[in-house]
């Protein structure tokens, strides 16, 4: 594995885990605060979920765990969207509450991730689920 892959994945894993475990630290580094459960959940979603998804994507491609095919940009954005939703769910569980805006964005991010994966041809059998099957932006199957 290339050293750049290791450095990048370690960095993003560290950022993500720090934000999940100590969300108030993130804004404090820049002179800000996260005094509410909603603010801390938002930090966990964006600064926790996104970097962890980025590290996972890099490692999955570098390790060849994706069946030999590279993740598309669309699949990458879908993973990032799903990670934000997961970060919000985790934050809501940890904080013991989720206000309306948090619930709304959790649903929107999860739905967006699903839509992007379907659009990328990743999904039920016969719809791009094979390791080498892909569809282009107009739905044609490509290798």
Rg of the chain over Cα atoms, rounded to whole angstroms, equals 17
Beta bridge partner(s), residue 124: none
Q: Is the CB of residue 125 less than 8 Å from the CB of residue 90?
A: no
Distance separating alpha carbons of residues 78 and 119, to the nearest angstrom = 10
Q: Give the pLDDT of residue 117.
A: 85
Q: What percentage of the chain exceeds 90 in pLDDT? A: 45
Average pLDDT per run of 10 along the chain, which is 143 residues long? 80 95 94 96 94 86 59 82 93 93 92 86 59 54 59
Quote the pTM value: 0.66
* Cα angle: 38, vertex 16, 75; to 5 degrees: 95
């Amino acid at each position: 594995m290339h050293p750049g892959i290791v450095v990048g994945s370690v960095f993003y894993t560290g950022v993500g885990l720090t934000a999940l475990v100590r969300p108030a630290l993130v804004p404090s580094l820049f002179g800000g605060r996260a005094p509410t459960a909603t603010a801390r959940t938002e930090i966990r979603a964006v600064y926790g979920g996104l970097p962890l998804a980025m590290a996972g994507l890099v490692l999955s491609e570098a390790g060849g765990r994706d069946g030999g095919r590279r993740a598309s940009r669309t699949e990458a954005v879908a993973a990032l969207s799903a990670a934000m939703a997961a970060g919000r769910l985790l934050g809501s569980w940890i904080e013991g509450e989720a206000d309306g805006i948090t619930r709304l964005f959790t649903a929107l991010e999860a739905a967006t991730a699903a839509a992007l994966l379907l659009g990328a041809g990743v999904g039920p059998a016969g719809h791009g689920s094979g390791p080498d099957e892909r569809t282009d932006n107009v739905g044609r199957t490509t290798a």
